[in-house]
Amino acid sequence: MHPLTPAQILLLHAINLWTKFPKKLETLSSPAFKQTQEVQSFVLVLFMLFSPPMPFALMPFLAVCLLNAVHGYADVIDKLPGFLKTRLQFFLTPEGAFQVHAFAAVSEVIVTFMGPPLVVVQGYRALMLSFFYFQYVSRRYKTSQQTQQVIGLLVEKADGMFKHPRVPAGVHGVYEKAKYYIGVAASKFAS
């Protein structure tokens, strides 16, 4: 991962916010402004400038940047050769946009889920990144339907594994406590 990639994403986020919202002081306190992915991810992407390289952690932000670029350059895309044109124009459709947002949501949850193993491998810097990513996904859970669906599916699959009749009661109990504490932490970070 190139060290400037998080800086470029921050710049794209700033451009998106600049063009989307009125340039007034009241904008900073509006709920619509606070619920945008750009605002929710600012600290996380800023921290990625100084953290160990984690290219996949940038996928949710790069996916949204791709979608914005395709919408911004729709007239240029019309002039491309057929193969590229049809592939890129797909992202202009509601189905294409939904797929990009769904991919971003899956990426967010995967990176959050893989945080603890990264802490073991990379140490304290990965711990801070995992903390910020968990906080980010907790906030996204409140505002993104795709993130809610992905987390719901993950919990459903984990429940199926850990509530199986052949799983020892102790393992089931540890799973339930871990799920409870993760839920408590997520609700505190989401506010």
pLDDT at 117: 87
Q: Give the model confidence (pLDDT) of 58-107 as tens digits.
A: 888 888 888 888 888 888 888 888 888 888 899 999 999 999 999 999 99
Backbone φ/ψ region at 80: left (φ over 0), alpha (ψ -120 to 50), beta: beta
pLDDT at 123: 78
Closest CA to 134 of 65, 47, 50, 44: 44
pLDDT at 153: 93
Residue 72 sits in which domain range? 5-190
Number of helices (H), then strands (E), belonging to the chain: the values are 12, 0
Q: How far apart are CA 169 and CA 182, in angstroms?
A: 20
pLDDT at 94: 93
pLDDT at 4: 57
Residue 153 · residue 160 · CB < 8 Å: no
Task: Look at 15-24, 81-90, 172-181 and tell me which has the smallest mean pLDDT.
Answer: 15-24
Q: How far apart are CA 146 and CA 141, in angstroms?
A: 8
Residue 147 · residue 105 · CB < 8 Å: yes
pLDDT at 150: 93
151 vs 68, higher pLDDT: 151
Q: How far apart are CA 191 and CA 142, in angstroms?
A: 9
Contacts of 37 (CB under 8 A, 6+ apart): 60, 61, 64, 140, 144
Q: Give the model confidence (pLDDT) of 93-129 as tens digits.
A: 999 999 999 999 999 899 888 888 888 888 777 788 8
Closest CA to 37 of 152, 146, 126: 146
Task: Look at 68-72, 146-150, 158-162 and tell me which has the smallest mean pLDDT.
Answer: 68-72
Return mean pLDDT, the chain: 84
Using pLDDT thresholds of 50, 70 and 90, give the confidence band for residue 53. Answer: low
pLDDT at 52: 65
89 vs 191, higher pLDDT: 89
154 vs 72, higher pLDDT: 154
Percent over 90 (pLDDT), the chain: 23
Instruction: Count structural domains, the chain.
Output: 1
Q: H/E/C letters for each residue in 27-69?
A: HHHCHHHHCCHHHHCHHHHHHHCCCCCCHHHHHHHHHHHHHHH
